[in-house]
Amino acid sequence: MADVIQLLPEYLANQIAAGEVVQRPASVVKELLENAVDAKATHVQLIVKEAGKQLVQVVDDGSGMTPTDARMSLERHATSKIRSTEDLFRIRTLGFRGEALASIAAVAQVELRTKQRDQDTGTLLLIEGSQVMSQQPVACPDGTSIAVKNLFYNVPARRNFLKTNAVEMRHILDEFQHVALSNPQITFSLYQNDLEVFNLPAGKLSQRIVALLGNGYKEQLAACEEVTPFIAVKGFIGKPESAKKSRGDQFFFVNNRFIRSAYLNHAVLAAYEGLLPKETHPFYVLFLELDPKAIDINVHPTKTEIKFEDEKTVYAIVRAAVKQSLGIHNMAPSLDFEGDVNFAPIQPLRASPNANPFGDDYRPDALASAAARAATSSPRDGGGTERTLPARPTEQAKRDLEAFYKSLGQTVVPDLPEGDAQAIERFEKVSSPLVVHNPVPLAVAAPELPLREQASGPGNRVVQINQQYLVVPVKSGMMLIDQAAARERIFYEQYAQALERQSGSSQTLLFPRTVTFSPQDFAILREVSDALHAIGFRFNEFGPNTIAVEGIPADVANRDERELLEGLIEQFRTHAGPVRLDRREQLVRALARRLATNSDTARLSDVEMTALVDRLFACAVPSYTPDGRRTLVLLELSQLQDLFRKP
């Protein structure tokens, strides 16, 4: 039998190796920026065209390379930083494995210019698909300039898998942000399609944070520092009130290398326990310095995941450092042991002898009303006089109470006061049948639902429990509805229909409001702007990373536009579901969940409860949310009877 195992050609081996290192243009940006930092550059310039697909160029004023080193840098596993096995456990630099430039050159056209400070001329190298096309001396500034053109030109299948320019640019901004944050002593600039996006002068870390993430952080930064013999933790955290719906502004650096660690993130959240609003995430930029022997950074191709030798100790110190910073800056709750924290004595209730809250026509309901108001009034008024019982209720109050007691015995929804007329009109306006857009096939069959008419018979009224659930009596038993899940299904079908027809109605704001985002969130917003306009959002770009919001969807409660859009971006980023969805479907799901989660949880009126149930039953798939969670549960009469039988 003939031999079948053979060595791969060099160009093919390089392309396979490039698959681990170069996944998208942002991978090239990361490697080239880290090389510039390792070369001790003081000024680094990043130039990007067509989101890196056409050009990624990094120009630095670092140490430069000799002609021989320039040629050797393109060979696989060629590095100036590793000489022995022991060096692997003393790594302080960013790039060290020596595969970056070789992998990039295998899948792109590369132009490398480099010159050392003590040399009169530099070196120009032209490489295409790992092949050196030419090498010659050239006049150039000190440092190195590497231009990577037409990425994946010789691997069209890989190029076809690249995302839209907005998505790829978002990843590039992420990598640029990581390197710029970890090196505030270096001047960085970024140009996209000949337009300047960032110009970051060298300075302090706090200045770099504000320059990168926006002036909104200027008053929200709190210094964090804890130094122990084992580890040093330094950086900044955000005040609890600056917490955002999105998770983007959270950064860990270990020995100046950006890492991702859910374990350490949990340590920070544990320190903020009890201080953050629901479903918000704190800002932090934390630098951990420890002995390189105590970590392993060579466990992932992109080196963003590392292993700690003693992760429990690292967790405890990070948590303690953040908690101490919160306490020092008076952001954590504490007891004041010097102040008088005793409660004031309770004042006795004294009735004025001239007060007659009942009148000649004494009625128990009037007494109950007066007692209730007396119980909630303060012992003394602003002038310090003794409290008196309230005066006799008005005739209008009497009529309202009589109508309330009478309605308890009615079998239909009672008439509402004039003040609720607008609520009735609002719910009638939106209770028309809805059409679902690309419903997700469900693995389980929906239960057979009772007809909605069965829930409106004599004595059947919708009841709200704990402002979360609705109980709807039906002929076959009882139906429990999750309010938030029901709203999510309703919103989903409503906005899916608007997106399908490109006809979302909008409510115009009295005055346009500006909202500024981080560059990453702004890239996501650009990515979904067409779909947002289709469902009723109205906004225009208004400066760098800023929009002017002129209108929001008609049925969205008037709220903070920043919170709504940031929450939507976060939902869009993290709740895409286990299956791959197109951006329009993903956006509708994210908006539906965000609005349903943030909906008012106050007690609903009878009309509002009935309208919610009616709108749910008007949906094409009323039994489940878009991602397959139940909106309702039907309890048969026999199931209810079983609950009261003897065990």
DSSP string, 170-184: HHHHHHHHHHHHH-T
Helix H, strand E, coil C: the string for 238-283 is ECHHHCECCCCCEEEEECCEEECCHHHHHHHHHHCCCCCCCCCECC
Report the alpha-carbon distance of residue 512 to residue 509 in Å, rounded.
6
What CATH number was assigned to the domain covering residues 10-200?
Answer: 3.30.565.10
Q: What is the pLDDT of residue 130?
A: 82
Q: What confidence tens digit (pLDDT) does each residue in 226-270 have?
A: 999 999 999 999 988 888 877 768 999 998 889 888 889 999 999
**What percent of the residues of the chain are helix, what percent strand, and what percent coil, each to the nearest 5?**
35, 20, 40
Buried b (16+ CB within 10 A) or exposed e, 467-489: eebbebbbeeebbebbbbbbbbb
**Cβ-Cβ contacts under 8 Å for 571 (sequence gap 6 or more):** 589, 590, 591, 593, 594
Report the alpha-carbon distance of residue 486 to residue 592 in Å, rounded.
10
- Of 638, 641, 634, the residue nearest 473 (C-alpha): 634
CB-CB contact of 269 with 309 (8 Å): no
CB-CB contact of 522 with 212 (8 Å): no
**Cβ-Cβ contacts under 8 Å for 376 (sequence gap 6 or more):** none
What are the structure tokens assigned to 300, written together? Answer: 């992932």
Q: Distances from the Cα of 468 to the Cαs of 492, 512, 600, in angstroms?
A: 19, 34, 10
Q: Where are the alpha helices (H) located in 432-482, listed in sequence order?
A: none
What are the two backbone dihedrals, phi and then psi, of residue 290, each rounded to the nearest 5 degrees? Answer: -150, 170
Q: What is the pLDDT of residue 412?
A: 41
Q: Report how far apart the first and last C-alpha atoms of the chain are (Å, whole number).
A: 75
Q: Looking at the domain 452-636, which fold is it?
A: Ribosomal Protein S8; Chain: A, domain 1 (3.30.1370)
Mean pLDDT by 10 residues, the chain (647 residues): 72 64 89 91 95 94 90 74 57 61 89 92 91 91 94 87 85 92 95 89 92 83 91 92 78 90 91 84 92 73 74 92 87 46 41 46 44 45 44 62 55 41 40 37 41 45 84 85 89 82 76 82 80 83 85 71 74 50 72 72 79 87 87 87 81
What CATH number was assigned to the domain covering residues 205-328?
Answer: 3.30.230.10
What are the structure tokens assigned to 356, written together? Answer: 């007659």
Q: What is the pLDDT of residue 321?
A: 94
- Of 292, 290, 288, the residue nearest 322 (C-alpha): 288
Q: Distances from the Cα of 442 to the Cαs of 162, 255, 615, in angstroms?
A: 31, 48, 21
Tell me the domain boundaries of the chain. 10-200, 205-328, 452-636
What are the structure tokens assigned to 465, written together? Answer: 């429990």
Helix H, strand E, coil C: the string for 204-250 is CHHHHHHHHHCHHHCCCEEEEEEECCCEEEEEEEECHHHCECCCCCE
**Rounded to 5°, angle at Cα 613 from 487 and 446:** 80
Helices 583-597 and 483-501, packing angle to 10 deg: 140
Fold match between domain 10-200 and domain 205-328: no
Report the alpha-carbon distance of residue 139 to residue 21 in Å, rounded.
31
Classify the C-alpha dihedral 111-115-121-123 as positive or negative: negative
**Cβ-Cβ contacts under 8 Å for 210 (sequence gap 6 or more):** 217, 218, 221
**Rounded to 5°, angle at Cα 397 from 395 and 402:** 95
